[in-house]
Structure 1
Amino acid sequence: MNVLKPNQQATVYTLLERGTTQHQIARITGIDRKTVRSYQRRWLARDDRSANSPGVATGSEAVAAQTPPPRPPATTPVGAAAATSLCEPHRAFIEAQLRLKRNAVAIFQDLVDTHGFAGQYNSVKRFVAKLRRKEPEQFDRLSFMPGEEMQVDYGEGAPTLVPGSDKYRKPRLFVATLRYSRASFRCVVWKSGQQVWAELHERAFRHFGGCPQYVVLDNLKEGVLKPDLYEPELNPVYAATLKHYGVVADPARVRDPNRKGTVENAIGHTQATALKGKRFESIEAQNTFLANWERNWAAKRIHGTERRQVQAMFEEERPHLKALPLMGMQFFKQEQRTVCDDSCVRIEHSSYAARPAAIGSKVLVRIYASRIEIREFASGALLRIHAKAERPGTVVLPMQERVFNPSRETRHILRQAQAIGEQASRLCKLMFAIEGRVGQRKLWGIVGLTKHYPAQCVETACAQALAQGVYSYTHVKELTKRAFEEAATAMQAARSPEGGAPASAAAPNVPALTQQHSLIRQADEYADLFDLATTAAAAATASAEGGQS
């Protein structure tokens, strides 16, 4: 009890003598109600002593002697009805408002405004408090089969020295508990994340020597990206880890920690018994201590509810756990990327081909230790797999998928020149060797001559240019045109009735052409074509000269 000053004591006694309630005294004087109650007991005990032993009254006692004794509390006569609250006629309205989650102040205001309520707010407050009393909530005891469920959660470990400093900080305490046997795996980490959360589950599975069917967790971001009562969205790394080990996640409902009460109790037991009042110089030292404590004490204890040893129940549960896979989980980091205009995605300063994903679309990228997986954004279907580049700036893009590349264009031109003939291929290679990539324009021009002249004429012109040492597209074009005209003249002379020199004699530099082939038409058809072209050209020339005059 707090000791009050004499003037405060006199004030309290005076108010008590006047019949003031404890609540009013506390409100007037600012003294705690518990202190007022203690002094009231003193005052009552002193009054009893004064009544039994006559004497001279002084101070507040004299005032009390002159003041008539307080009126005894009213008693309800036998058979009379108890006092009824003024709110009782409005019970239905008040209950309806409470179901709407309205408070006593709002209900009192509505009663005054719309129902003509004549009582005070305190009457409404007391009535509402009685209606709000609920029966204690009942919880069912859940029973599980061996190897059926494991519960996981985070707590706080003991203060640990932060590396590189002289400060102590509490790391995160991960606890995984098998629901049937209550055997637990405990580990502390400095930081948590998607991969750390999945790695801790993998370590727990290997600690128990097997996997349960289900794992129950709350809705922390490392495990659940989007909480939902029906279809919660799991973290992709966590989901892939559970799929690798054949375990199904069963997230608890939001704000429902009682669903995983076993691991909650395990965390509290660890903090209160093993780590209470301890400090560690490193995270490794704390993990070693937890492993020894679990083996020597926690596993050997008699469980309070089951009244059996935890280790004995775990040995009974161990054969029911699912076998571990031969290989551990290959962890990855999943990110979202946009396909650039070169049909690649940028990952860690390198470019990787993303086709058949369209340019500008979004894809999911899984970054493993030694490979890159590109998946469709909506369905997660696998599109491409690439070996991870060792050097930043690497472009992993096959040549056939590139839209344009100077070196690829050069090879394409040279292949077309080789299709024309040996001399054309030789001339184009020589011109590219002399002028480099800039000379590709001339190469395109030489290859493009085959669109207007026979390939044999282009090949003959290239042979003449090589012999003359003139490496020019314009010169090759003139030679090709001349060779074509000479070939046409020789063909006309060969089919004329007067006869004439053979084609080989008319054009000694032009090799003999193939005359008989399934793809070659008759010479008369070619002659008609040439005559038509000559007539059209002469008409165009005459028209142009007439316009100028």
Structure 2
Amino acid sequence: MPAERITMRQAREIIRLKSSLISAHEISRRLGMPRSTVREALKRAESAGLSWPLPEGMNDDALEGALYANRRSKRGHRRVEEPDWAGVHRELKRKHVTLMILWDEYIAANPGGYSYSRFCELYRAFEKTLSVTMRQTHVAGERLFVDYAGDGVPVVVDRLTGEVRMAQIFVAVLGASSLTFAKASWTQSLPDWIDAHVSALSAIGGAPQLIVPDNAKTAIVKACFYDPQVNRTYADMAMHYGTALLPARPRKPRDKAKVESAVLIVERWLLGRLRRRTFYSLSEVNAAIGEMLKNLNEERPLRRLGATRRQLFEEIDRSALKPLPIEPYEYSEWRLRRVGVDYHVEIDAHYYSVPYRFARAEVEARLTVRGVEIFCKGERIAVHLRISGNRKHTTIPEHMPSSHRRYAGWTIERIREDARKIGPATAALCEQILEARPHPEQGYRACLGVVRLAGSYGIERVEAAAERAIAIGAKTYGSIKSILDNKLDRKPAPKRAADAAPILHQNIRGPRYYH
């Protein structure tokens, strides 16, 4: 049953949605029309060389004419010029380039050339002669396929005992040019996985639109056909480089056939040639891999395309890649934590403060080698230098409530030091206040209040008030404040009578005994 004719408004919407890499199935669901109709519209748009945005000034009549006009084949003389099919194949990897555009260029140069239908038929026949992976369509700079080789490289880690450890080989390959990268690491764990990606993007000199990994547990938290859950650190790395992650579907090896082929090439081209060499470090392995990759990418032409991987990369992929950020990605881990009632978060046996209003909240901590960032609902609420686990606290004063902040930096030693700066009388008074309490910390606030009076009344007046208070035996904050308020510090203290002098003797119990 032929697909129904659509309105030009629908045609514009179909072309626009397709430019956002939305599938025909999803477009049909959004617009409420059969998939066959959507596919037919997309096929006509491709044949007409139309892409979003449409040419300026193209009205509905012009759009309808482009989509539904019956193109007549341009038939020429009996002698037909054969197109450069390898060049056609390379050009199709460029963004927005279609067979219709290439056929128009071919006809412009060869008026007696093949008709469009024959041109397409001959190209499809040429495409079938390529390898399975080469028959997949890969747009320039669009996808980087990544995976680990099944076999590793043996490395002697102890020259005395001869202990051998297998180095894992990470492989990355660009879809359009097949430029290949490989690097050895000790494990396939997340830190090595991220480091290999950073090295691959640095070696390529740009970032693709998509990175296509396997469903390895390192990269994918939960494999799912429709909505796989990507590791948070891995997603963070992709965001840093402005790219996106598109995990291959479970049990769909053709989704990553490009990297499967590259892994096979690495295993045969690299590992096979390294089998008789002895390595004593990862750096030696990576140096050997680098030499062989140079030969693979720059000296061996791809079959039937007549160009090396490096040449294809410079011609096709280089300009389509996104520029790398100024700083490479710094490895980080994410931890889910709950803030304590003391507005501190415990991370690796150390406690970091957050603003007190987030006490008891659930937060996420991003850990790097040097720092700790704490987020709540996507908002960064605290940043600290990372400290080794010592069961101590790192507290930023601004994170504390005002009632805590007021006393946070004060200690008995500091109060004594500040009292000495005011004067000897103030220092002596504070000592007497501390000694008069059963425990020195009970006189903490009284001494703190006396010291702070210097900010309101001045050092000279507080020192004079302390002298008067000692003379009359007043050892409280309230007495000092009263002396200053009533300006008694400016008057001489009353002299004690001669017979009023206290008698000090070890056998005299004193008034405290009877309390």
TM-score normalised to structure 2 length:
0.54
Give the Cα–Cα distance (whole angstroms) in 1 for the partners of residues 444 and 313 of structure 2.
Answer: 80
Give the Cα–Cα distance (whole angstroms) in 1 for the partners of residues 442 and 387 of structure 2.
Answer: 35
Partner of 2:325: 325
1:154 pairs with 125, 145, 148, which one?
Answer: 148
Give the Cα–Cα distance (whole angstroms) in 2 for the partners of residues 447 and 394 of structure 1.
Answer: 26
1:271 and 2:267 equivalent? yes
Partner of 1:466: 470
Partner of 2:137: 143
Q: C-alpha offsets along residues 125-144 of structure 1, whole Å, 9 cap, x if unaligned?
A: xxxxxxxxxxxxx9994312
1:179 and 2:164 equivalent? no
Equivalent residues in 2 for 1:494-505, closer than 5 Å: none
1:311 and 2:310 equivalent? yes
Q: Secondary structure at the match of 1:386?
A: strand
Percent of aligned pairs with the same amino acid: 24
Cα shift at 1:154: 0.8
Partner of 1:284: 283
Q: Secondary structure at the match of 2:302?
A: coil
Q: C-alpha offsets along residues 194-224 of structure 1, whole Å, 9 cap, x if unaligned?
A: 2221111111111111111111111112222
2:378 pairs with 368, 377, 380, which one?
Answer: 380
Partner of 1:215: 211
Q: C-alpha offsets along residues 36-70 of structure 1, whole Å, 9 cap, x if unaligned?
A: xxxxxxxxxxxxxxxxxxxxxxxxxxxxxxxxxxx
Preserved contact between residue 428 and residue 443 of structure 1 (Cα < 8 Å): no
Residues 1:311 and 1:447: Cα distance change in structure 2 (over 3 Å): closer
Cα shift at 1:461: 10
Cα shift at 1:166: 1.9
Partner of 2:157: 163
Cα shift at 1:440: 4.3
Preserved contact between residue 133 and residue 261 of structure 2 (Cα < 8 Å): no
TM-score normalised to structure 1 length:
0.51
Partner of 1:244: 240
List alignment gaps of at least 5 residues for structure 2: 1-131, 450-462, 495-515
Partner of 1:454: none
Preserved contact between residue 363 and residue 374 of structure 1 (Cα < 8 Å): yes
Aligned residue pairs total 337
Give the Cα–Cα distance (whole angstroms) in 2 for the partners of residues 426 and 161 of structure 1.
Answer: 70
Preserved contact between residue 339 and residue 357 of structure 1 (Cα < 8 Å): no
Q: AA paired with 1:185?
A: F
Q: AA paired with 1:156?
A: G
2:252 pairs with 231, 251, 256, which one?
Answer: 256
CA-based RMSD:
4.5
Preserved contact between residue 173 and residue 189 of structure 1 (Cα < 8 Å): yes
Partner of 2:296: 297
Residues 1:275 and 1:139: Cα distance change in structure 2 (over 3 Å): closer
Equivalent residues in 2 for 1:67-466, closer than 5 Å: 141-164=135-158, 165-276=161-272, 278-279=275-276, 280-282=278-280, 283-304=282-303, 306=305, 308-317=307-316, 318-356=318-356, 358-376=358-376, 379-389=377-387, 392-399=390-397, 401=400, 403=404, 408=410, 429-432=430-433, 434=435, 438-442=439-443, 465-466=469-470
Residues 1:156 and 1:286: Cα distance change in structure 2 (over 3 Å): farther
Preserved contact between residue 354 and residue 384 of structure 1 (Cα < 8 Å): yes
Q: C-alpha offsets along residues 435-465 of structure 1, whole Å, 9 cap, x if unaligned?
A: 69923435668999xxxxxxxxxx9997764
Q: Which has the higher contact order (CA 8 A, sep 6+)?
A: 2
Give the Cα–Cα distance (whole angstroms) in 1 for the partners of residues 382 and 438 of structure 2.
Answer: 33
Preserved contact between residue 150 and residue 178 of structure 1 (Cα < 8 Å): yes
Give the Cα–Cα distance (whole angstroms) in 1 for the partners of residues 413 and 373 of structure 2.
Answer: 32
Give the Cα–Cα distance (whole angstroms) in 1 for the partners of residues 150 and 442 of structure 2.
Answer: 72
Give the Cα–Cα distance (whole angstroms) in 1 for the partners of residues 373 and 307 of structure 2.
Answer: 49
List alignment gaps of at least 5 residues for structure 1: 1-137, 449-458, 488-503, 511-549
Residues 1:296 and 1:231: Cα distance change in structure 2 (over 3 Å): same
Partner of 2:105: none
Preserved contact between residue 194 and residue 235 of structure 1 (Cα < 8 Å): no
Give the Cα–Cα distance (whole angstroms) in 2 for the partners of residues 292 and 383 of structure 1.
Answer: 47
Cα shift at 1:161: 2.5
